[in-house]
Amino acid sequence: MVSSQAVVIVFARRPELGRVKTRLAAHFTAEQTLALYTAMLGDTLDIVRSLPGDSLDRAIYWADAALPAVPEDLARGFRCALQEGRDLGERMYRALEAELRDGARKVLLVGCDSPNLPRAYLVEALDALDAVDLVLGPSADGGYYAVGARRAAPEIFEGIEWGTSTVLTVTLGRTRLCGLSWKLLPSWYDVDRAEDLGRLARDPGAARVKDVLRQIGGTNA
C-alpha cells in the first residue's frame, strides 16, 4: 500500500497544435494529433489520480515557460509546477530533487507516453522505494517510462543520449557507479508511432485515447 510522504510527478507539455507527438503527426492531422495527446495526458493523470493513499501528493510538471491554462477537470487533484533544466535529464533530476528537498520521502516520475500503463506497476514502484534508492520502469524502446528515487543523484541523469536505445543501460551503469540500490519494474511500451496505437487499441486501459481513435477512425479500437 502506498504510504505517506510520497509524491508522484507527471511530466507533460501544454496541449498545443504542432508542439506534441510529432512522430504521430505524420499519420494524423494536427487537430487529431492534439486530441490524441490530450487524451494520453488525461489517461495518465487518471491512472495517477487512482493510486491508493490518502496522503499521496500528485503534481504535474509542465515543460513550458509559464504554467498553462488547462481544463480544471483534467488537472483535478494535481498541483502544478514548471520543469527546469537544459535537457530532459536535468529537468528530471531537478524535479526529483526539489520534491525530496521539500520533505518527500520518495518521489516517482512518469511521462504521458504510456497512457495504458498498469496502475499496479506504479504501486509496485512506490512500495519498492521503501527498500531501494531507485526504481526504473523499462520501456520497449530502450528507455524508461518511470523513474523513482528516495535519493537524488545527478550523475545518473548527466550525459545521456535521450531518445536512444541505450538510455536504460547507461542509466543502470551510472546507478551502480553511484552505489545506489535499485529495482527494475515490469517492462511496458511508449506510444510514439501509429503502430503503437494499434497495440494500445488491443490492450486494456487508455479509455480516453480509445475514444479519440474511434472518433477519428485511427484503428479498430
Q: Quick check: helix, strand or coil at residue 182?
A: strand
- Tens of pLDDT, residue by residue over 128-181, are 999 999 999 999 999 999 999 999 899 999 999 999 999 999 999 999 999 999
Q: Please, which residues have CB within 8 angstroms of residue 111's CB and are 6 or more apart in sequence?
A: 10, 11, 12, 44, 145, 190
Residue matched to cell numbers 512522430: 23
- Taking domain 6-215, whether its CATH number is 3.40.50.11270 is answered by no
CA atoms of 168 and 159, how far apart (whole Å) = 13
CA atoms of 179 and 144, how far apart (whole Å) = 20
Cα→Cα distances 18→25, 33, 118, Å: 8, 8, 29
Q: State CA 211 to chain mean position distance.
A: 21
User: What one-character DSSP code corresponds to residue 2?
Assistant: -
Backbone phi and psi for residue 68, each to the nearest 5 degrees, phi listed first: -80, 155
By the 8 A CB rule, do 9 and 108 touch?
A: yes
CA atoms of 126 and 39, how far apart (whole Å) = 25
Q: Which residues are 79's β-sheet partners? A: 59
Closest CA to 1 of 141, 130, 188: 130
Q: How many residues does the chain have?
A: 221
Q: What's the confidence (pLDDT) of residue 3?
A: 41
Backbone phi and psi for residue 147, each to the nearest 5 degrees, phi listed first: -140, 130
CA atoms of 193 and 65, how far apart (whole Å) = 27
Orientation angle between helical segments 119-128 and 30-49, nearest 10 degrees: 50
Q: What is the mean predicted confidence (pLDDT) over 122-128?
A: 98
- Tens of pLDDT, residue by residue over 8-55, are 999 999 999 988 998 898 899 999 999 999 999 999 999 999 999 888
**What's the farthest any 2 CA atoms get from each other in the chain?**
50
Question: What are the sequence ranges of the domains in the chain?
Answer: 6-215
Q: What's the confidence (pLDDT) of residue 221?
A: 47
Q: What's the confidence (pLDDT) of residue 54?
A: 81
- Tens of pLDDT, residue by residue over 47-106, are 999 999 888 999 999 998 888 888 778 889 999 999 999 999 999 999 999 999 999 999
